[in-house]
Amino acid sequence: MFLLFLVIWIILNGRLTWEVFGIGLALCVPLVLFFSRFMNYTIRSEFRLLSKFTWVVRYVIILLREIIKANFEVLRLIVSAKYEPEPVLFSFRTDIKKSSSRVILANSITLTPGTITVDLSEDGRFLVHALDRDIAEGTEDSVFIHMILEEQQADGDPAGNGGAV
């Protein structure tokens, strides 16, 4: 957070001189101390957040790849005159316990063309509508679920109750 405040200070000043840098240091130290004292900020929480950064980047790259693949699949359905889409409403359950992780999965399913998450229950059950039965296949065993479960286990929380995703 200290470096973030310092970088923002330098950007807002529009130039980097020794004076700007020194004043930035003098302002950022009390600001970080204030956050530590009154906002429950710790250096440990910042390192934990940084360790999640690589996972988030990987997840976004895979999400973009899956969106592109699904776009071509939906395009094939639309353009094909001989193939009649067969919409399907299906449900599946995951072992993802943390609600924020389930929301990430639901949003990933919805962002992928051809599928939309209709309902998400507290017990980890998802209700999903797919444009076609072929698109629906494999949703309950998708790469998104594997990545979230992998991160859940990396947090040392196999039940998913305490680790953040």
pLDDT at 162: 46
Over the chain, what is the mean pLDDT? Answer: 86
**Is the CA virtual torsion 8, 13, 15, 19 positive or negative?**
negative
pLDDT tens-digit map of 105-115:
999 999 999 99
3-state secondary structure of 106: helix
pTM of the model: 0.69
Strand order in the sheet with 88-93: 88-93, 125-130, 115-120
pLDDT tens-digit map of 48-107:
777 788 888 999 999 999 999 999 999 988 888 788 888 999 999 998 888 889 999 999
Tokens of 35: 């956050």
**H/E element, 126:** strand 125-130
3-state secondary structure of 71: helix
**Amino acid at position 91, single letter:** S
pLDDT at 90: 93
How many C-beta neighbours within 10 Å does residue 77 have? 18
Residue 158, pLDDT > 80, answer: no
